[in-house]
Every structure is written in structure tokens, then in C-alpha cells.
Chains A and B, each alone.
Chain A
């Protein structure tokens, strides 16, 4: 709401603005409090470099779950539901969550990674069941459509884009778009609707979640052999604005540009999500102040007694009795423990699994690419506004390589005044992943503050005065990148195969780093294990 009249602050702003007009450098000079947080590089490197002491204690368990991200937590939940109470979950970090990690301060809870899920399509049966059990789906209407908890649906307005010096509603750049741009938007939207409805000769949807329930029809899988840019070229989409939007979508969901990501994956972003709700449009998402941390908490809490955090499994191998042996190092006690179990579910990224599993160490590693990410949580004295459309949940800059920011306070039910936390994201995908990763780890907290504030300043000139704290998290291997060939290739199928009593579950095996994939894989692997262990 614009107040009539001039505030003192604005008046002073005008006066000092005029005085500073002579092109002063706007680099922040004050030191902004905060720190670099995130996955422990020290522990990760220790795992890479080896040299753990031999175990001097032994523990017997039915099942050992290695890794406490969404896949691991889903596996734990499913084991318990299947009556397999005898299990333990080992997590390298001091907390579970993986890419759904989250934090909180006096102002708000906030995400450190994934921050929303879309309405699940009918193919995502396991996910729908979870949402029903968590009370996210509160019932069904007469037509059978799910009724979602209104407070979890992203509050309107959901998205805005900073383009040509003002905010517009929605992420497709409308301000300054030519007629040719608009024609291409319409054509593209129609094409995506077509893909959404398309089914292959096998009767399955062309694109769905989970990925493995998508059609295997070559008419669609062929799209995995080209990049998204090649597909846009082949289809004759020339509009720079449309191409920007598609690129943004690829960077946002897959941590890679449209030149890096396969067309199948790029199209999956637009065409897979056909979930319907009785009380929302189907492009609406579910979100919480702490992002997917809300889901993580609810998966974790019922099994908190089985979670051992700060324990890294460093060797997993089949035991002579047909079971499995897991050596793990306890960072707090500085000693190793041997777990003897009937089965293991390895829920870690594939490149880590290669270091842990004796059976994989001999095999050549799959050529997987991981995109590095940086996430910054900013505590601000007041919620960012800006010229043009009202503040939204997701706020993106057209002329920036960042992914913009999400307002953690947006889902609050009260009238938003006072401090806020915003979460700024950037997928570091402009150079080769290894180089980007090295560059990201070299940056100091002050470097990141400069970079983040410079990005936000384009729409929020007051940001230097309102920022109170910036915490930064660098995800070196943020997420698997669905490069051409990964989704449809052989490697992915091979990775998902159990090796004796050792089962695998992680979104890497899907090629798409999303909650639904990790959850479904964890659940299915645990079902298999429970089935095998069930007394005949």
C-alpha cells in the first residue's frame, strides 16, 4: 500500500541520492555479519582420502540405511511401515535432510536447498499417499480431485520478474515483449500442453513423475539425445525472451543451462506436472517457510530414534553369511564401528557410493555431472518491495545469471511488516562444473556478500541499509545434471540394480534431483528389502 505523503526516510533518500549522483561506487564497505555454512567439506574429504581406523566395536542390525537425505528418510519410514523395526540410519552430517536442509533464526525458518514441490501427478502414487498421511491433502471433492491444505499452497502472488526496471507478475517476460515474442509464447505453451497430454505407444504418459514411469516410446526418448537448445532451434523458437525463460527453468530445476541439459529433461519440467487440485490451479506449488525442510522434519521425526548423525560409512561389503558389513567412523568419538546387517540401503549420491562400496570401487565410475550451487539466506530489516508488481514468493531478475530469491516469510498468515528472510539462489553453470566448484570454494564470505548484494541491488536499492545478516551455503555437488543420454541411457538402469544385499536409492538414479524421485526410490528400495527379509 502506498502511503500518501513523504516519509522522512524517503525525503533523506532523495537528498542524499542527489548528493551521491556523481557516480559513487556502490560496493558495500561495511562488514556484513554471517558465515559460510553447508555440507562439511572436511568430512567429505576425509571420506575421499580414506585412512579411517579399523572398527573396534560391532553392532548387529537388521538393515543399515546409509545417508539421511530424503531417499534415506523415506526408506526408514517405509521399513517401519513394513514392520521392519530393526534398522539404523547413518548420516555423515550432524543433521539429516541433504538438499532439503533448512535453518531458522528469530525472524523466520528458511530453506538451505529445495524449497517447493509441485502438485504430484497421479503416477506419483507413493508421494500422493504421503501427502494424504501428512494432512497436505485434506480430502477429495465430488470429482475425486485432491483438496490441498490451503496454507501449504503457495500464497498469491507466487512469482514476479524484474524486467526493464520494474516488477511484472509471472516469470515469462511480458514487459517489452514484441508481438513475435508473444506469438512464440503462445506456441510454446500450446506445445507444452500437448506434451502434457501425450502418451506413448506403451500407453504411458510421455513425461511423468517418477521419471521411470514415463513412456519408453522412442518418439519421446529420442529427445534425450539432444540439448534443450537444439530442440528450441529445431522447433524454430527464436525469441530471446522465450529462450531466456526456458534457460531459467533449466537452471532452476536442473542446475544447468539449456545448452547443457537434455531436451527430454527440459521438456519434463514443463510437461510432467499435471497434478490437479480441487482448490488450486495445477501450476501451483506447495511450499513452506523452511522449504522442503517441512517435509524433511515430518519424515525424520517418527524415526528420530534410529538416526545416528555424525557417522560416516566408509566401507560397505557383502559378508560371508550372505548379509552385509558396514564400517562407519564416528566423528564425535573418533572411532570406527562395524555394523553387521542383513541388508543395506545406500542412499548417497552415486559418486559417494563409488567410494563406499567395495563392489563399485573396481568398476569405472559413471560419467555423471554434478552442478555446483550457492544459496544465501539474507535477514533483512524489512521485506523487499520495489517498483511495479507486489512482492511475490519467487522473485527473479531477467537480466541476471542468478535465480533470484524466494521470500521465506511469504507463507506467513499475518500482515507482513518488519523483518524478513529471503533465500537467494544461483546455479553455477556458466563454466565446466569442476572449475565453477573450485571458484565457489575459493570465495570468502565478503566476496559472496558483494556478489549477492550487487545482484539484489538492481531491484532493491535500499538493500545495503536493510540487510542485517547473510549466511551462505556452497553446494559443491549440488545436484545431478540431466545431460543428454543420462535419462535414457544404460548407466542409469545399471546404477539402480542391487548388488546382493546392497540396495541403492537416490535421486541420482533418476537423473533429476527432485523430492518425488528421492522419496519414491527410498520407499521402493525399502519395500524390496522388507519383502526379502520377511520370514517365509
Chain B
């Protein structure tokens, strides 16, 4: 071997120290960021990920002494595997987050493997280089490059990679870099490495996988649920009807159904006070109250503030929701144990079917369904449904309907009002500002006009007689517009709703 090629080999190997150091730290940062992103509590996540990672590097270094023959081959293999595992770690963590029960096991297993492999690298490299450099030069150069690489990584990560590439793509990019180091090493030292072709072949296959991942990163991100929520996800389950996600950031608990925000702990009291009291405080009798939808128990919490309420029937399709909100500690705290109250009867059935079978009457009814974003939910906003509601309502009772945003979906909102008008109700539309939702609308509807006097319970945070009066006034940009009436056979509302929200979102 000539001096020239020896020199270039030495340079290349040192350059690879630099690349390895950068890649290693990037994987560590990805794991730490992802863990705090998905699990919340970034101090704990970063601290434990870094700890486990460094410890795993120790394991790798210790294991390096068992590599006796073929040091070069093992080094190349290590490079290729770190490239594969480290490079795809972000994608794997994102994709599997919502699918597996023990996410932490997967996270720390990956951190352990990557850490151990990275820990193996430097000792092996030192041994490869030990005959080509004096010991003091060797140690000095390797560690210099190692620390420079670390600095580069720690600057690149927050300033370039996360904002411009995103975690998944950045992961793949560094995986590719890692594999390239391996491949270049194979090529340069092809005469000294046993099975050079085999290594090269493996390297190219892994490279192809990582390149595909890099190119498909956007698709992977749309598949992965972890990426859709801005706050750490603390609960993710699928029921037969919907995808249930709970997120928490600080003291803000949020519930999403099929990706749509249902409430935010910070301001849900505004929504639920406005949903329940403007109607319930005005009916002459409130012994029997019916809640359709609203499986989170937050409306029930408000209803139970009236001592004269004797029984509350809650009909929610999804048993997973009502179970969650009657057992999970944080949620029970939020709804003040409403679903556990002896006054409350929970029924898990489709509201339309259940309603059709009822013969007894109710004093007050709340319909708190998801927005009419598909034909299936749209049925619960039709004249056919409202006629069933009217049938089980006392003549001097009232019903309130959550009816989407009169600001964003003005026609949809007034369509609900007109559909209730067409179903034989006297309607009183109103709206409230809920910061996490924006302007939100409700329709109070009664078979005959309600008495104007509202008898609000004590202890409300938002509603007072003064704020209450303001809710019923609509500024011109949310005012009445003529619309079709929503029926089973035209689903006019679903079509309107889709059109209006599409314009707003895009």
C-alpha cells in the first residue's frame, strides 16, 4: 500500500469519525424530541433518553472487546445497521405510536440498540486506526472530530433539520449519511475487507430502503397520528365508531374524535355553561333531563347544578367514551364525577334508534352531537330526527342543539335553525365565544315560547344574567340567511357544512 493511499484512507477514516459523531447525536436528539413530543414532559423525556443512550454507548464500548477478528468488517456492518435503525427510528416511532400499547418499551429499546451500536463505533475505529497513527495523535484527532461533530449536530438539529426537514426526513437523511460512510469504507478498503461485495450489497439495499423512506416522508407523516396533534397524546384508542385521542399540555386536557377537537380543558366551561343553562334555567320543570351525545359528562356536570333535577338519561353511541369519562381519573375530576352520580343513567345506543323506542316524556333535552361532517351524523340534524325529539318532549319543555360555528359555517348554522322551525319548534338561536373553538352556535327550541325569566344556578364562571342576554344578539356577519331545510332525503346540511368548512380550512 502506498503512502498516498494510506494518507487518504486515514483522512477518510477521520472524516467518518466526524460523520458518525454527527449522526449519533442526531439520533439521540430525534429520540428525545419525539419522546417529549408524543409523551409530554420534555425534561423527563430528554433526561431519560440521554441517560439511556449514553449508558447504551457504554455497553457498546464494552462489547467492542469481544470483536477479535475482522474488526473492519464489523465496523462496516455497524455503520450499515446504525444507518438503517437510526435513520428509520423517527418514522417507526411515529407510525407505531398509536398502534402499540407499550410505546415506552419500543422507544427505549430503539435508544438502547442505537446507543450500543454507536458506542461500538469509536472503539472499533480507534483499533482500525491504531497502526496508522501515533497513539497521542490518534486520541487527539478522533476526539476532536467527535466533539466538533457533536457541536455541528446540536446546531443543525434545531436550526435547520427540525424546521426545514422535519424529524422523519432528517432521520432518513442521517441514516443515508451513515450508510454512505460504510459504503465508502468498503470501497476504499475493499482489498482488506473480507466479503466486501456482501457488505456493499447489504449497504445498497439499506440505502434503497432509506431513500424510499426519505422520498415518502410526507406520506409517512400523514399516516402517523402522533404528528397530527400539537400537544402530547396521552390516550389513543379506536372504538367501532371513532378514533378517540386525548392530549395534554400542562393543565390543558383536550379530547379529539376523528381528529376534531371536542373540548379544551381551558375553556370548556364556556361551551358547557352556554350549552346547558340558557335553556335549562328557563323551563318551568326540570325533573327529567335527556342528553343525546355528550358522553364526556361535561353537560351532565352542569345539569346536576340544579337540585330539582331528579334524573338524567345520557344516550351516547360509544361505550368507550362513557367508560373513559367515568373511570379515568383526570377526566372524572374534570366532569366532577357526573357520570357516576346516582341520578345519571348512561345508555350506549344510537340516539335515533333509542329515541324512536321511547314513550315517556322529558322536561329538557340536549343534543350535543359531533358536527354534521358526514352523512351518517347528518341524520341527527334532520326534520325526521327533530320530530322524534318533539314527540318525547313535554309541551312546556325545551331542547338545545349544538349547531356548529355561525361565523365559519353561517349557512349551516341557520340551516339547523330553519330545520327546527320546519319541525314545529319556536326557536331562539344564540352564540358564545369559546377561545379554542371560536364563535360557537346553539339553538334553543321549544314547542311553545319559553318564559323569559332565567333562574341560573350559583357558581357559574361565565354566565350571568347580563352575559346571557348578549348571547341571543347576532352581529350582521353571523345573521340569518335563507337556507334549505335539512331532511334525510337531501342531507342539505352535510353538503353545506363541508363547503363552508373547506373554505375556512384551506
Task: Answer yes or no: are A and B bound together in one complex.
Answer: yes
Q: Is there contact, CB below 8 Å, between A280 and B376?
A: no
Is B490 positioned at the interface, with any CB of A under 8 Å from its CB?
Answer: yes
Contacts of A155 in B (CB 8 A): 375, 379, 488-489, 491
Is B458 positioned at the interface, with any CB of A under 8 Å from its CB?
Answer: no
Is A3 positioned at the interface, with any CB of B under 8 Å from its CB?
Answer: yes
Chain B: minimal CB distance from A266 (Å): 27
Complex: A415 Cα to B352 Cα, angstroms = 9
Complex: A157 Cα to B224 Cα, angstroms = 31
Q: Which of A5, A153, A157 contacts B223 (CB 8 A)?
A: A5
Complex: A390 Cα to B498 Cα, angstroms = 13
Chain A: minimal CB distance from B353 (Å): 5
Q: How many chain A residues have a CB neighbour from B under 8 Å?
A: 26
Contacts of B223 in A (CB 8 A): 5-6
Q: Which of A1, A6, A281 contacts B224 (CB 8 A)?
A: A6
Is A151 positioned at the interface, with any CB of B under 8 Å from its CB?
Answer: yes
Contacts of A415 in B (CB 8 A): 241, 317, 350, 376-377, 379
Q: How many chain B residues have a CB neighbour from A under 8 Å?
A: 35
Q: Is there contact, CB below 8 Å, between B258 and A279?
A: no
Complex: A8 Cα to B98 Cα, angstroms = 10
Chain A: minimal CB distance from B425 (Å): 16
Within 404-446 of A, Cβ neighbours of B (below 8 Å) are at: 413-418
Is B373 positioned at the interface, with any CB of A under 8 Å from its CB?
Answer: yes
Contacts of B350 in A (CB 8 A): 413-415
Contacts of B242 in A (CB 8 A): 1
- In this complex, what residue of A is CB-closest to B489? A153
Contacts of A6 in B (CB 8 A): 95, 99, 223-224
Complex: A6 Cα to B97 Cα, angstroms = 11
What is the interface of chain A mostly: helix, strand, loop, or mixed?
loop
Within 343-364 of B, Cβ neighbours of A (below 8 Å) are at: 350, 352-353, 356
Q: Is there contact, CB below 8 Å, between A156 and B491?
A: yes
- In this complex, what residue of A is CB-closest to B220? A6
Contact with A along B215-245 (1 / 0, CB 8 A): 0000000111100100000000010111100
Q: Is there contact, CB below 8 Å, between B356 and A413?
A: yes
Q: Is there contact, CB below 8 Å, between B488 and A3?
A: no
Complex: A422 Cα to B437 Cα, angstroms = 40
Contacts of A413 in B (CB 8 A): 350, 352-353, 356, 379, 384
Is A218 positioned at the interface, with any CB of B under 8 Å from its CB?
Answer: no
Chain B: minimal CB distance from A254 (Å): 26
Contacts of B382 in A (CB 8 A): 150
Is B374 positioned at the interface, with any CB of A under 8 Å from its CB?
Answer: yes
Contact with B along A145-175 (1 / 0, CB 8 A): 0000011011111100000000000000000
Chain A: minimal CB distance from B374 (Å): 5
Q: Is there contact, CB below 8 Å, between A156 and B238?
A: no
Q: Is there contact, CB below 8 Å, between A153 and B375?
A: no
Is B383 positioned at the interface, with any CB of A under 8 Å from its CB?
Answer: yes
Is A284 positioned at the interface, with any CB of B under 8 Å from its CB?
Answer: yes
Is A23 positioned at the interface, with any CB of B under 8 Å from its CB?
Answer: no
Is A4 positioned at the interface, with any CB of B under 8 Å from its CB?
Answer: yes
Q: Can you list 29 A-B pairs, Cβ within 8 angstroms, ordered by A?
A: A3-B238, A3-B258, A4-B225, A5-B243, A6-B99, A6-B224, A150-B382, A150-B383, A150-B384, A150-B488, A153-B487, A155-B379, A155-B491, A156-B489, A156-B491, A156-B494, A157-B491, A158-B489, A279-B489, A284-B489, A390-B374, A390-B375, A413-B356, A414-B350, A414-B352, A415-B241, A415-B377, A415-B379, A418-B240
8 new A-B contacts at CB < 8 Å, known A279-B383, A413-B352: A3-B258, A4-B222, A6-B99, A155-B375, A155-B488, A280-B487, A413-B384, A414-B352
On B, residues with C-beta under 8 Å from A are 95, 98-99, 222-225, 228, 238, 240-243, 258-259, 317, 350, 352-353, 356, 373-377, 379, 382-384, 487-491, 494
